[in-house]
């Protein structure tokens, strides 16, 4: 997920997307434990997407506090 797409989302959408991505990551990890994934890089991509989302959400929270 690109940063430009994340910036266009509302805070509620970002929080919802974090939940969805975390569930997907959990499922990917479980599937990887049972049998090897076709592309284990998916796990890394999901982790990074979650980190980007959380970073943007935190940045918005800090901006609201300073106002």
- pLDDT of 9 > 90? The answer is yes
Residue extents of the structural domains in the chain:
3-66
| Residue pLDDT, tens place only, 35-55 | 998 999 999 999 999 999 999
Model pTM? 0.91
3-class DSSP state for residue 21?
helix
- Which two three-digit tokens encode residue 10? 């509302």
3-class DSSP state for residue 1?
coil
Q: How far apart are CA 33 and CA 29, in angstroms?
A: 6
Average pLDDT over residues 7-25: 96
């Amino acid at each position: 997920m690109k940063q430009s797409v994340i910036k266009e989302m509302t805070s509620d959408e970002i929080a919802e997307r974090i939940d969805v991505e975390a569930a997907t990551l959990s499922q990917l990890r479980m599937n990887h434990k049972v049998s090897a994934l076709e592309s284990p890089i998916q796990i890394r991509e999901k982790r990074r997407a979650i980190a980007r989302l959380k970073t943007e959400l935190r940045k918005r929270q800090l901006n609201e506090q300073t106002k």
